[in-house]
Chain A
């Protein structure tokens, strides 16, 4: 079976209109083509509509930061992606909700760069900046669809993918990898027997690797079974997201909607109880918390 490891560029061509992808053009602004090349950003069209594309191109290393290679995202990569999102927001700031251009994320990253200089500068700001930018774009109306084509691993997936309105993933048959750590790594760090973990993983999606486990937890909204289905699935999601946002249903897209899916699909049963109890206790505590003699309810 084919896979798309390191082939972010090929995947873009399969999703957008033929020949429409213009690299390093974002919201009308041209970016330096030599800047953080593995963070592949640009503008394309899907069925004629302008979209921003943000992808990983694992074929490039970053000559300025030696811990950026094989799709690992470093200080510059996260900031470049964040920059692309803010340029997109700015380009459409005066447009009505229905005309905010979609952002397509093509996801294939093994994670964030683990390096000393990355920690000295604070790489968490690069990933944080990109997530906040994405959340802002999503909340201001841009439909964001993530298409996981290869690896969506740990902090890399959080940064590039998990802030989307909707997340699609090629099925396990394409070798798609979604996880925090492989089972063997979890066994080693937690000192839990690997045989026990393998057994538990069959019935509980909460820790083991795999697209279907993430689906059951709500972390993946849809599984795509064939390469040629990527494009129609992405288009269908854009339409669905637009419909929900037009109706003001912002909690039916994005991370919170995936938590709700996880509850419905049975992967996050306990979360449901937490939400219900906390809401009840909060309501009961309200008068005591906000009240008091100086600050009582308005007559």
Chain B
């Protein structure tokens, strides 16, 4: 067990599958999967369409420890229908959040809650295009259930999101990821609502050229999201980097974790309004226009520098003080 765990730590996070990520983001030998593939709880909707289901429906849910904190882990598998959210997939995610909340109550009431016993945290690894079209309606409803469960967990269970897979996090899961307390991304990870291909198709290539990889990454990639503070941390694309950051954050007091939120209060809406103001009337043509406004100068160098150098030197959105810069 430990050998496999050790081996995975040095692997690129982006190359591991959902189960490996869930297993290796926890302490060695601590991961217990719920509704594991042996249960064969598959989508009943795919076979009639001639499509092969998967025994976990493209999502791994389990319990583990991250450092001292008991964690509920959710990990989406983008290699199965693009990580799309269907009926089973969606309900597994909703239940994971509800069970984290229940776990927290049980921990506080029935187990010793000394300083170092920690608190239950929820960790979600997003790798999805959002709703699974084959089960579109159920997938859509599941998103609303997830958002409601997030609100129920507010002030009780900290939620840590990670985005480092090859699909990234798009569609409805984009707003789910923006509703977590702390979001950790890698260079590989991308976050958006409407995917580049869809914008190109609906609006046109002149609006967005989805074949332009550099454009796609500088619009939705981890570096840009770090600059706009949608991502709190940018880490190397290794399993170890993600695990260490998750463990670190999970050990923080709840108030400190919650303070990293970007939406979820009236004041935060006012902050976001100021950010939006910067883009009104076609003032922004490219994400780098925004970078410049935040005081970044040698942007190409910043873009090419390695992740730790980038994180150290990037000038980020001065949260809540946009008015001062205008």
Cβ-defined contact, B193 with A118, below 8 A = yes
In-complex Cβ contact of B34 among A118, A269, A281 (8 A) = A281
Q: Chain B: how many interface residues by the 8 Å CB criterion? A: 99
Cβ-defined contact, A86 with B265, below 8 A = yes
Q: From known contacts A190-B134, A297-B111, infer whether A132 and B264 are also in contact, taking CB-CB under 8 Å.
A: yes
Residue from A65, A89, A205 whose CB has the most chain B CB atoms within 10 Å: A65
In-complex Cβ contact of B263 among A67, A121, A125, A208 (8 A) = A125
Residues in A neighbouring B149, C-beta threshold 8 A: 256
CA distance A276 to B27 in the complex (A): 28
In-complex Cβ contact of A196 among B49, B151, B279 (8 A) = B49
Residues in A neighbouring B63, C-beta threshold 8 A: 282, 285, 289
Which of B16-24, B199-207, B246-254, B299-307 lies at the binding interface? Answer: B199-207
Residues in B neighbouring A116, C-beta threshold 8 A: 199, 207-208, 219
Cβ-defined contact, A274 with B91, below 8 A = yes
Cβ-defined contact, B148 with A254, below 8 A = yes
* Chief secondary structure at chain A's binding surface: helix
Cβ-defined contact, A158 with B88, below 8 A = no
Residues in B neighbouring A273, C-beta threshold 8 A: 41
Residue from A112, A119, A180, A291 whose CB has the most chain B CB atoms within 10 Å: A119
Q: From known contacts A179-B136, A180-B133, A219-B141, infer whether A121 and B279 are also in contact, taking CB-CB under 8 Å.
A: yes
Residues in B neighbouring A114, C-beta threshold 8 A: 194, 198-199, 202-203
Residues in A neighbouring B287, C-beta threshold 8 A: 120
Cβ-defined contact, A129 with B276, below 8 A = no
CA distance A219 to B50 in the complex (A): 26
Interface 0/1 of B103-125, CB less than 8 Å to A? 10011001110001100000000
Q: Chain A: how many interface residues by the 8 Å CB criterion? A: 94
CB closest residue in chain A, given B120: A290
Q: List 11 A-B contacts (CB under 8 A).
A: A114-B203, A121-B275, A122-B225, A135-B152, A162-B140, A181-B133, A186-B134, A207-B138, A256-B94, A281-B35, A290-B103
Q: Which 7 A-B pairs have the closest CB atoms?
A: A86-B266, A128-B175, A135-B151, A124-B174, A162-B144, A180-B136, A124-B175
On A, residues with C-beta under 8 Å from B are 64-67, 75-76, 79, 82-83, 86-87, 89-90, 112, 114-129, 131-133, 135-136, 139, 154-155, 157-159, 162-163, 179-181, 185-186, 189-190, 192, 196-197, 200, 204-208, 213-214, 217-219, 254-256, 258-259, 262, 267-271, 273-275, 277-279, 281-282, 285-286, 288-291, 294-298
